[in-house]
Amino acid sequence: MATATARPYNAAAAAAAASWKEDPTRPFAAASPSVYPAGDEEAATTSRWRSMQYLRKRQCLIGCCGCCATTVVLVGIVILVLALTVFKVKNPELTMNRITLEGLGSDLGTAQHPVSVNATLSADISLRNPNVASFKFDRSETDFYYLGETVGVAYAPEGEVDAERTVRMNVTLDVLADRISPKVNTSEIVFGQDYNLTSYTEITGRVNVLGIYKRELDIKMNCSIILEVGAFSSTVQSKSTSCVANVS
């Protein structure tokens, strides 16, 4: 026969059992989890998003500034190189190619000047422009001298020389008979003689490269010319010509 074991009386357990019997649908109480306020989590997310957005803007700003600085430096280098090479203004070259005397002759003059010399002088002048822009020049003047006396003044109209081109100008004038007649005699005209002439030419102009580089130029040229006149010659060309040009 089984022997019953006596258990100690638990008043709390007995009270709980009696309560459950009275209301069987009531669940046992469970421990609730820890809950944080929703406002703190949203603030942390917003702060992280703003930090990332600030970093992106800062990186874009730094990148844009770097690109702009690099572009400015490259443009400056290109302009400097072009200014020292292609766009550098060079001096035009003025050349006296030849001098021609036409219709050279003599007539009986007055008692004071027994010989009257008549001639037409023509000068062939070249102007070369070595620049990448055109050279515009004003009206020019060429003076001719014989034994220190001015025997003629020739004028050339204004014009323009294209980039890396050469133009030729022919100037013609009548020799001033009253200036040259006292310095020659009939034998020089009849039997031939060498005449030493000098000339002075001045041309002013300007070079404009893309409206950025501008320069005013003043070209001056002095020439020494020897004309060999044969006996009874009606047309005489220069025997030799030596010129020195200066550009400022």
| CA dihedral (106, 187, 111, 174) positive or negative | positive
| Together in a domain, 180 and 140 | yes
Total domain count for the chain? 2
At 187 the pLDDT is 52
Q: pLDDT higher for 129 or 78?
A: 129
Q: How far is CA 225 from CA 54, 85, 145, 231, in A?
A: 82, 37, 10, 19
Phi/psi for 158 (5° steps) reads -65, 160
| Together in a domain, 122 and 235 | yes
At 226 the pLDDT is 87
Phi/psi for 33 (5° steps) reads -75, 165
| Together in a domain, 111 and 216 | yes
C-alpha triplet 71, 75, 80: angle, nearest 5°: 150
| Together in a domain, 122 and 227 | yes
| Together in a domain, 143 and 229 | yes
Copy the structure tokens of residue 233: 């010659």
Range of the domain at 180: 93-247
| Together in a domain, 197 and 224 | yes
| Together in a domain, 72 and 127 | no
Encode burial over 227-247: b for 16+ CB neighbours within 10 A, e otherwise.
Answer: bebeeeeeebebeebebebee
Is the CB of residue 212 less than 8 Å from the CB of residue 87? yes
Question: 85, 109, 141 — which closes off a domain?
Answer: 85
The residue-averaged pLDDT of 134-141 equals 92
Is there a domain that residue 16 lies in? no
Q: pLDDT higher for 167 or 177?
A: 167
| CA dihedral (100, 103, 106, 107) positive or negative | negative
Mind listing the pLDDT tens digit for each residue in 67-87? 888 888 888 888 777 767 767
Encode burial over 23-46: b for 16+ CB neighbours within 10 A, e otherwise.
Answer: eeeeeeeeeeeeeeeeeeeeeeee
Model confidence at 156: pLDDT above 80? yes
Is there a domain that residue 111 lies in? yes
Is there a domain that residue 117 lies in? yes
Mind listing the pLDDT tens digit for each residue in 179-217? 665 555 555 554 457 778 899 999 999 998 877 778 899
| Together in a domain, 172 and 195 | yes
Mind listing the pLDDT tens digit for each residue in 218-238? 999 999 988 777 655 556 778
Question: 34, 58, 85 — which closes off a domain?
Answer: 85
Is there a domain that residue 167 lies in? yes
At 87 the pLDDT is 76
Please name every residue paired with 213 in a beta bridge, in sequence order, or none if there are none: 209
Is there a domain that residue 37 lies in? no
Is there a domain that residue 201 lies in? yes
* 3-state class (DSSP) for residue 12: helix
The pTM assigned to this predicted structure is 0.62
Is there a domain that residue 54 lies in? yes
Q: pLDDT higher for 51 or 176?
A: 51
CA separation for the pair 26, 23 (Å, rounded): 6
| Together in a domain, 50 and 66 | yes
| Together in a domain, 118 and 214 | yes
Return all residues near 236 (Cβ < 8 A) that are at least 6 apart. Answer: 100, 101, 104, 227, 228, 229, 230
